[in-house]
A and B are shown apart, each in its own frame.
Chain A
Amino acid sequence: MALPLPPGLTASEVGFLCEMEFVTVIPRQRLDGLELLGGPTQPLKPPFPTPLPLWLALLLKKQKRANISPPPWLSVEGLSHILDFETDTRTAEVFSPSQALPPPMGTRRGYEDYLDAEIVDFSPPFLPKSSTTGAQAEALPYHWLEVGHLLLTHAADDFDDAEGVRRLLRDLREVRMSKLRKGFKVLDAGAGVKLNGVGAMEIAEVRGFVGGVVDGLRKINRSREESRKEREAEDRENGLGGGSYQEDDDDMQL
Chain B
Amino acid sequence: MASRLRGRPAHAPGQTYCSYSKNGRKLVTVGSNSLLRTFPHNSDDEPPVIDVRTDTHLAVAASNDFFLVGAEDGTVTKYSLLTNSMEEILVRCSLPIRDIALSPDNQWAAVASDEIEVKVVNTRDMEQVFYLREHPRSAKHVSFDFNNSTIAVSCVDGIVYIYSISSEQPQLLKRMDGLIKMLENDADASSRVIWHPDGRAFAAATATKDIQVVARADWKLQKTFKGGHRGDITAAAWSPNGALLATAGADKSLVLWETRTQKVVKSIEDIQDVILCLQWHPTDNVLSYTNTNGELFMRTGAVPGEHAKLLSIALQPAPFNGDPLSDISGNAIGPRSNHAKPGANGWDPASENDYVDGLLDDAIWQDGADFIEDDDGAGYAEAPNRNGKRVANGIAGPIAKRPAPYSTWQPKIHDSFQPGSTPWKGNRRYLCLNLTGFVWTVDQETHNTVTVEFYDRQEHRDYHFTDPYLYDKACLNEKGALFSCPPSAQHPAILYYRPHETWTARTEWRVNLPTSEKITSISLSDSCIVATTTAGYVRIYSLYGLPLKIYRQKSTPAVTCASWRDYVITVGNGPVGGDGTTRLLYTIENVKRDETYQSEDILALPDGVELKSVFFSDKGDPCIYDSEGVLLVLQHWRKAGEAKWVPLLDTRTLDRLAGGKKEESYWPVAVANNKFHCIILKGGEEYPYFPRPLLSDFDFRIPVSGSDEDNAELTHQKMLEEQFVRKTLEHSLAQDLVDNTHATHAQKSEVPVLEREVDKVLLQLLATECREGEERGMKALEIATLMRDQTGKMLEAAGKVAQRFQRDILAEKIASLAERRLVGIVDDDEV
Contacts and interface: CB of A to CB of B under 8 A. Distances in A.
Contacts of A111: 767, 800-801, 804
Contact of B459 (A30, A48, A109): A30
B697 A49 contact: yes
Contacts of A69: 694
Interface string B441-470: 000000000000011111100000000000
Contacts of B673: 48
Contacts of B457: 28-29, 46
B695 A47 contact: yes
A35 interface: no
A26 B458 contact: no
Nearest to B756: A115
Contacts of B760: 112, 115
A47 B455 contact: yes
A109 B767 contact: yes
Contact of B455 (A46, A65, A112, A115): A46
Contacts of A29: 456-459
Nearest to B764: A109
A112 B761 CA distance: 11
A50 B338 CA distance: 36
Contacts of A28: 455-458
Nearest to A72: B656
Given A29-B459, A112-B763, A47 B804 contact: no
A47 B693 CA distance: 13
A30 B456 contact: yes
B797 interface: yes
B95 interface: no
Contacts of B763: 112, 115
B743 to A, nearest CB: 21
Interface string A22-48: 000010111000000000000000111
Contacts of A115: 760, 763, 797
Given A69-B694, A111-B801, A112-B797, A46 B764 contact: no
A37 to B, nearest CB: 26
B672 interface: yes
Contacts of A46: 454-457
Interface string B395-407: 0000000000000
B435 interface: yes
Contacts, number: 45
Contact of B801 (A48, A108, A112): A112
Contacts of B458: 28-30, 65
A98 to B, nearest CB: 20
Q: Which has the most chain A C-beta neighbours within 10 Å: B456, B716, B763, B801?
A: B456
A11 to B, nearest CB: 32
A26 B454 CA distance: 13
A115 B697 CA distance: 28
Contacts of B694: 26, 69
A47 B764 CA distance: 34
B350 to A, nearest CB: 34
Contacts of B764: 109, 112
Contacts of B767: 109, 111-112
Contacts of A65: 458
A47 B435 contact: yes
A46 B434 CA distance: 11
Interface in B769-826: 797, 800-801, 804
Contacts of A30: 456, 458-459
Contacts of B459: 29-30
A29 B458 CA distance: 5
Interface string B745-770: 00000000000000010011001000
A68 to B, nearest CB: 11
Nearest to B804: A111
Contacts of B672: 48
B660 to A, nearest CB: 16
A108 B763 CA distance: 13
A69 B760 CA distance: 34
Nearest to A28: B457
A29 B459 CA distance: 7
Q: Which has the most chain B C-beta neighbours within 10 Å: A28, A29, A47, A48?
A: A47
A48 B797 CA distance: 37
Contacts of A108: 716
A69 B456 CA distance: 16
A67 to B, nearest CB: 9
Interface string B670-696: 001100000000000000000000110
A29 B760 CA distance: 36
Contacts of B716: 108
A111 B803 CA distance: 11
A115 B761 CA distance: 11
Nearest to A29: B458
Interface in B694-726: 694-695, 697, 716
A221 B763 CA distance: 60
B817 to A, nearest CB: 19
B64 to A, nearest CB: 44
A132 to B, nearest CB: 12
A141 B660 CA distance: 25
Nearest to B800: A111
A111 B694 CA distance: 42
A115 B753 CA distance: 13
Interface string A102-130: 00000011011001000000000000000
Interface in A46-88: 46-49, 65, 69
Interface in B559-610: none
Nearest to A108: B716
A111 to B, nearest CB: 5
A1 B631 CA distance: 67
A199 to B, nearest CB: 25
Contacts of A49: 695, 697
Contacts of B804: 111
A111 B695 CA distance: 39
A111 B801 CA distance: 7
A29 B456 CA distance: 5
Contacts of B695: 26, 47, 49
List the 3 closest pairs (A to B, CB-CB), nearest first. Answer: A29-B458, A47-B455, A46-B455
6 contacts: A26-B695, A46-B454, A48-B435, A48-B672, A48-B697, A109-B764
Given A46-B456, A112-B767, 17 more contacts: A26-B694, A28-B458, A29-B456, A29-B459, A46-B455, A46-B457, A47-B455, A47-B456, A48-B697, A49-B695, A65-B458, A69-B694, A111-B767, A111-B800, A112-B763, A112-B764, A115-B760
